Amino acid sequence: MSALCKAVCVSKRAAELARIPCRSLLGFTKHYSSGETGETPGNEEGTPPAEKRLGGFAAAFELHSDLQQKHDIAAATVGKTASSKKKQSFAYLLKHSPLVQMGTAKDKVAVGKIFHIVNDDLYIDFGGKFHCVCKRPAVDGEKYQRGSRVRLRLVDLELTSRFLGAKTDTTLLEADAVLLGLLESKPK
């Protein structure tokens, strides 16, 4: 699920990565025709002709899902998974996690996945500790089903408040987010 968050945060870095010639594991296939050929022999696509350029966010999302797949395949074949995981300490993992890289949650756009629906309430998990609950929008209401990916603007990761006379905060065990719409670039 944290892969969903990564799509947002690496949107800047994705542009940098696209220009760097790939060294070991990553082969770019469909969307980037900047003349880079993957060094791994398993890259069957070759250098494709220039295709339709996707918009910024969608391109970053596509890139990241490709990167993730390539990395997983390469890591599995090369067999370096165990050693690469051991080297990363908790502090390293935390520092480079999308949650920390994102910063404050307010007004950040994230991709979430609907995991439960109760009539008009959509329970959406976006990779944080809690899920958020949003009302089904009037536009394209039927398209919001279990498993749909949606775009959210986060407001708060956990709704808590200290009431008068209480020792600890009262928590609603929910996050707060505004539903922006479906993830258009993903073909269903």
Instruction: Give the residue, chosen from 130, 136, 180, 185, that forms a contact with another protein under the rule CB under 8 A.
Output: 130
- Segment near another protein (CB under 8 A); pick from 23-31, 51-59, 134-142, 167-175: 167-175
Separation between Cα atoms, residue 178 and residue 152, nearest integer Å: 6
Residue from 51, 72, 120, 169 in contact with another protein (CB under 8 A): 169
User: Using an 8 Å Cβ cutoff, are 102 and 154 in contact?
Assistant: no
Write the CB contacts of 117 (distance below 8 Å, at least 6 apart in sequence): 123, 144, 145, 146
Could you say whether residue 146 binds another protein (CB under 8 A)?
no
Contacting another protein (CB under 8 A), which of 7, 105, 134, 182?
105
Which 3 state secondary structure label does DSSP give 16?
Answer: helix
Task: For another protein, give the closer residue by CB, 88 or 145.
Answer: 88
Q: Does 27 bind another protein (CB under 8 A)?
A: no
Interface with another protein, residue 173, by CB under 8 A: yes
CA torsion sign for 85, 87, 90, 91 is: negative
Count of beta carbons in the 10 Å neighbourhood of residue 83: 8
Report residue 150 CA to chain centroid gap: 11
Based on CB atoms, which residue is closest to another protein, 25 or 102? 102
Residue 119 touching another protein (CB under 8 A): no
Q: Does 117 bind another protein (CB under 8 A)?
A: no
CA distances from 161 to 37, 133, 169, 171, 174 (A): 53, 18, 5, 7, 12
Give me the least distance between CB of 131 and another protein, in Å please. 8
Binding-site ranges for another protein (CB under 8 A)? 1-2, 85, 88-91, 93-94, 97, 99-100, 103-105, 115, 125, 127-131, 157-158, 160, 162, 168-171, 173
